Structure 1
Amino acid sequence: MSDLLDGAGFEAFDPRFSALFAPHIHVEKLWTGARWCEGPAWFAAGRYLVWSDIPNNRMMRWDETDGSTSVFRAPSNNSNGNTVDRQGRLVSCEHLTRRVTRTEHDGSITVLADSFAGKRLNSPNDVVVHSDGSIWFTDPSYGILTDYEGDVCEPELGGNHVYRIDPSDGSMRQVTDDFVQPNGLAFSPDESLLYIADTGATHQPGGPAHIRRFEVQQDGSLCGGEVFATCTSGFFDGFRVDRQGRIWTSAFDGVHCYDPDGTRIGIIRIPEIVANLTFGGAKRNRLFICGTTSLYAVYVFANGVTMG
């Protein structure tokens, strides 16, 4: 059963946001009992959501058909970000094993990336799949800084970057070199732009707490990288883009919504720090929101670009 929540709801700063919900729509709490929820991914064929509970070393599953929640995978190698590829397979970032994996339709697991230039990755954090089949992921150091979400280890790469896995041969390319802690990422609807969050302020006083915007080149490289938005409440973590190009991003006080022109048009207030979110449901118009300990959901008058 879901609960109606006090202190949760829509706050509009711009008429463009007011048009995205109705007065009677409310935020629901679908489940609670985690230590740090992250990485929600929607599976349309089965009508269920999978997400990570990183410190508890498990992945959870919420079923839309009956509202039940169960353990999807344990242990999960302290999985963090997840997404669904164009063939309906789960793609996951794992802190403990410092790798990106794909769960095949038969349940077997394929390792997509665990090293670059002969050195182990730090702790892959979030991941997206391009329509050409390439897989893009961020690799900050959070999973090797403490034993809470992985294992303490010395970094081998000497930096925290974003990588692209080529769909034709599985080769990897480093596509950024100036991030402190790259985190969430998402493509614009036409995939001409890639938005990437930098949460470097978590470990660097005065460090970045913003989302940057890059132009995606035909050869898979990036150019540009100007700051698109700076967080007004904590840090941006994971985020998604809707069909009109709006950014729906996590923050300490809920989900912030940005118009493609960079204007923050509103907030969905959530009574916990939000780490990530995704669009799901039959019409991709339901936001599933990972708070610190709980899974929330709310319907909006917007539709996600892709499942997962």
Structure 2
Amino acid sequence: MHPDYDVRDKRFGDYLLGNCKLEKLYTGSLWAEGPVYFCDGDFLLWSDIPNNRILKWTQGGGVTEFRRPSDYSNGHTRDREGRLVSCEHGARRVTRTEWDGSVTVLADNYQGKRLNSPNDVVVKSDGTVWFTDPPYGIMSDYEGYKADSEIGANYVYCLDPKTGELSIASDDFDKPNGLAFSVDEKILYIADTGASHDPDGPRHIRAFQVGADNSLSGGEVFAVCDSGLFDGFRLDEDGNIWSSAGDGVHCFSPGGELLGKIRVPETVSNVTFGSRKKNTLFITATTSLYAVTLNRKGVQWP
């Protein structure tokens, strides 16, 4: 097996293509994060947080700047109408970029108190916007602007854009980070990266059952990271989780079994599936953007 791959379970071998190796597409970021693919336009956007910009990669067209300044944007996704939804450390808000290029603020406070620094975001099929709000963007001037937390806690939120109602989905995290729904949206997986500033803090992904009213229950630990931290992650069509980690990308079965790893020479921050067939895994890792084509498709829309 190619040295890019660490196979822990024979099922992992079925996801790999023998002639498709890890490829570096770009380097030059300070901290690359938040990849999101536009299959209808066949391009990728991702954040270079400390450089306060969003970059754009196009097949055959290289890399250009999509937005600068970006308000120190971090995580991105698309809503059910295909619009870009972004977490911004600098402005401490979640925004939506409309088709005409204008920006709509979806959330910037909870009960009159400013959010900390929204980190990662997903949109459910009913249109609700779910995001995490750790303090990373206000802990220094490197990824935002140093400030005190007005809320005094780090929550996971659910926003109904139809009513504008913002509610706390979970309040028992140290530093909530990446999140993604299962294929059937009955489970919401959420990473906790509390160990980033406390060696004894959490370094795991938890699994919550999602009720018909979008309430969360459960929250058991799904997987613990054995190298660095789980940050951003995405699911494939079989329900496997492909997560960032310190030594690459870790692939877990829906049952929480570590199936294998894609070794990456830089600390991985996030991943997303893309290409027109949605079978290429794009990887943001410290200074660079990588990609590898797999024998599975991602489930994120569109």
Q: Equivalent residue of 2:170, what SS?
A: coil
2:195 to 190, 201, 205: 201
Correspondence list, 1:261-300, <5 A = 261-300=255-294
Offset, 1:68: 1.0
Is 2:106–2:161's contact at 8 Å kept on the other side of the alignment? no
1:20 & 1:219 partners in 2: Cα distance?
35
Is 1:287–1:299's contact at 8 Å kept on the other side of the alignment? yes
Partner of residue 41, structure 1: 36
Partner of residue 19, structure 1: 14
Offset, 1:303: 0.7
Is 2:39–2:278's contact at 8 Å kept on the other side of the alignment? no
List gaps (5 residues or longer) in structure 1: 1-6
Partner of residue 160, structure 1: 154
1:84 & 1:297 partners in 2: Cα distance?
20
CA displacement 1:181-226 (0-9 Å, x = unmatched): 0000000000000000000011123000000000001111100000
1:257 & 1:143 partners in 2: Cα distance?
28
Q: Equivalent residue of 1:154, what SS?
A: coil
Partner of residue 3, structure 1: none
1:67 & 1:272 partners in 2: Cα distance?
24
- Name the amino acid aligned to 2:204: H
2:276 & 2:42 partners in 1: Cα distance?
8
1:41 & 1:253 partners in 2: Cα distance?
22
1:129 to 102, 113, 123: 123
Is the aligned partner of 1:228 residue 2:222? yes
CA distance change for structure 1 residues 67 and 176 in 2, over 3 Å: closer, same or farther?
same
2:69 & 2:44 partners in 1: Cα distance?
18
Partner of residue 182, structure 2: 188
1:135 & 1:8 partners in 2: Cα distance?
39
- Name the amino acid aligned to 2:73: S
Identity of aligned residues (%): 58
- Name the amino acid aligned to 2:50: P
2:171 to 171, 174, 177: 177
Offset, 1:9: 1.3
List gaps (5 residues or longer) in structure 2: none
Is the aligned partner of 1:61 residue 2:56? yes
1:52 to 35, 47, 64: 47
1:103 to 92, 97, 113: 97
Q: Equivalent residue of 1:143, what SS?
A: helix
Q: With the length of structure 2 as denominator, give the TM-score of the two structures.
A: 0.98
User: Structure 1 stretch 251-260 or stretch 20-29: which is displaced more?
Assistant: 20-29
Q: CA RMSD in A?
A: 1.0
Partner of residue 10, structure 1: 5
1:44 & 1:307 partners in 2: Cα distance?
9
CA displacement 1:3-36 (0-9 Å, x = unmatched): xxxx961110000101111222201001110000
Is the aligned partner of 1:142 residue 2:136? yes
Offset, 1:167: 3.4
2:301 & 2:70 partners in 1: Cα distance?
22
Is the aligned partner of 1:254 residue 2:255? no
CA displacement 1:96-147 (0-9 Å, x = unmatched): 0000000000000000000001100000000000000000000000000000
Q: With the length of structure 1 as denominator, give the TM-score of the two structures.
A: 0.96
1:158 & 1:116 partners in 2: Cα distance?
11
1:302 & 1:144 partners in 2: Cα distance?
38
Offset, 1:44: 1.3
1:84 & 1:9 partners in 2: Cα distance?
30
Is 2:40–2:276's contact at 8 Å kept on the other side of the alignment? no
Offset, 1:307: 3.5
CA displacement 1:231-266 (0-9 Å, x = unmatched): 000000000011111000000110000000110000
Runs ≥4 in structure 1, deviation > 4 angstroms? Answer: none
2:17 & 2:113 partners in 1: Cα distance?
51
Correspondence list, 1:77-96, <5 A = 77-96=71-90
